[in-house]
Structure 1
Amino acid sequence: MEMNKRMKTMLGHSHSAGRNRSYDPLDDEDEDASDDLEADHDDESYVWNTTMIKVHKVDLVARMLVEACDLGENVLILGHNQSLCLRADEYPLLKANHVYFSDDRELYIKGCKNGCRDIGVFNLENNCAEEIVKPIFDDSGAVHKYKYSWYTGQMTVSDSPSILAPDELRNFLFNKAIVSSDPSGGNFIVVLIHNPHLQLSIARPGDDKWTWLPPHKDYEDCIFRDGLLYALTSAGEIHEYDLSGPAIARKIVLNKVKGFACENMYIVRGPCGDLLQVWRSYDPLDDEDEDASDDLEADHDDESYVWNTTMIKVHKVDLVARMLVEACDLGENVLILGHNQSLCLRADEYPLLKANHVYFSDDRELYIKGCKNGCRDIGVFNLENNCAEEIVSLQLWSNWPPPVWMTPNARKISLETHSS
């Protein structure tokens, strides 16, 4: 049995004899936390979670590793002692195609006596070591609260689970769903941007659960192009996912964008099939409004606060040069931005829309989850003069939930019109 554990993704570096492990690198903002941890190994406020385990077969003839996506009926046992591969049918309490692990990072072996231990079970089928939401039952057996994990697939520092009531939990789950193609054909993929911390999961028709894509987070928007998924982070970084094979491949095609200030970011498929990255900014609060901002955070239903879109900038994504090029003009095209899928349309195909304009709806997170009585930031932005205006003078639509754009299927409308 030539199973060789290749990767157990956590944080830091380890060079143990006979083992080859990789860990998540620290983000810049976590460097201070790492320094504190090195200085005080007994600090129990730090939690290091296993985020990924990959198994490879060792081809001794070709002198290479071949990724094994499935253990079949086998089980791996990993820890500070000998690594084992067992048959699940010989150990009925163990789950096939799972990895049982204990805490064996050198830092924790030698210190952190009071720290929470990283011990658990990793499911190789869905690449997940922990459920995000777990029900809590009362004495009668009914669900009355939920345990909500802030686990993201990366290092967590003092991110203990939250206990939420059902009406609270709904504000912590889903952000946006994107469909790869017309679902009527049955061959499509749904990508879900969800919490905690705006991660990605995918599902296909017939799936009974979501496939999680850890450990990356802070995704703002997604788009499909030529069979590939392009996901945009809040830092302007674009990740390309190939979902066609048994193993999902990811690569960074555009690094983080520096020196910009915007609230929301979108990725759109342009008129020629190229990718567009769009930045949408809002009126910044003046210094005298800081107290008002604090009040707004405390009371999401206050209808006296209005956030207006002040600037929208469109950039073409040059995947060869790995850079953004500002596009000052959309020509005869129109952008549709909001809480659902971002679109680029031809104005001549939709005569009621204005060319070189951006139509936007309210999708700021604070307003999606609260401010039920607040005025919605819905309008149209002219890219020629950088001015925004209301679509209609009176907002006649329902205010809660916040309005979203609806895109009719022109082909179906035409067929129904002819049939009638």
Structure 2
Amino acid sequence: MKPIIFLLTLLSVTAVARDIHVGVGKDAPTIAIAIKAAQPGDVIHLEPRVYRDYAGFYSKKGEPGKPVTLDGHGAILEGSDPIDATKWTEVSPGLFKNDELLPRLDDAVLGRWFFLWDGKMNHMGRTSKGRSAALKKAEELEAGEWTFVKDPSQEKPPSKQIYGTFYLKLAPGQKLADANIHAPVRSAGVQFGGDNAHLVIKNLTATHPYNDGFNIHGDCRDVVFENIAAIECGDDGISAHESAQYRVDGFVSIGNSTGITDTGTAQTSYRNVFLAKNLGFDLFFLDEGRYELMNVLVLSSAQNPLTITGRDKGDCRMKMENVLIRRLTEPRMGSIALRAFLEAKNCTFEGMDVKVTGSATWDNCLVNGKPQPDGSAGGGARKTELMKLAPPSFTP
């Protein structure tokens, strides 16, 4: 059965919930076809293997009590592919170039870029939301390094697209085909856009996209993520934008530029979370969002352990309960910035201080070995009603 016939067959029968299997047989649907075909109550099943693919939800809706479910069953969505050595030119011994690695490139993508070099991420000392080293000149590269050299003559403002050449430097005598180098060619593991509702995404790992593991844009309602992981992504492990609303129960974020970054007017709730080895920020919450964290362990080595800020839009609110941040390196300062409010209960910030220029309330909390007085701190703390996501987030 051809995929298009499979799609039409599914769309013609909507009364009974279906199990849709991706990756079983040569005529099985792709992830994209399965998501497009799924109707309220349907469950899309992946196999517990690596897919060099992503899951895109674009204005996809289930119904209340009948969500569209994507069950990864332990699947990995791999954002990188092996480079094609035939498309690289050796310009000097061990130095290879490619002018057309991606169809489109801009500074945001370049700031997130890395190569996987024999299975290890190589950022060249760069990260998307933190201090980054300047790109090297091609002639300065040492074995195992890469760079990008811009060609401004091809740029066409106001377009943000940039042009230029990627370079790779190998050890003397090493062949590019034997170097085991991968490039991140997909932007995300799970991508949302448009108006989505009544969805469940579970048992799934995203790794090695050049942007986010879970990139949630647009407006979404009644969306649940369960038992998910983001490993070594170019930007955020998970990130909510615009007016997205979702709940996460079970999330691991390791080796990303940031562990979690939520912004806009998003309303998000996370419980049962583990973060480690992130680069720019561990926890980064911004703007007018309403956010909750419960049962969270952060082994913090990113440049910034915790930042909550309203920026210029104001009234950013965070509720934390049973959160432990163990700071492993300098600097040892978290920030509750102006126009931000934190309500913390049973939290421990170990090996770090928290600078409060916004507002915070503490209930049985320990900061850098010092019990915090119950009540308010910072600039005029006040009681505020945080958002409520169904089911309520802090129900025992």
Higher Rg of the two aligned structures: 1
Higher strand share: 2
Q: Which has the higher contact order (CA 8 A, sep 6+)?
A: 2
Question: TM-score, structure 1 length as denominator?
Answer: 0.26
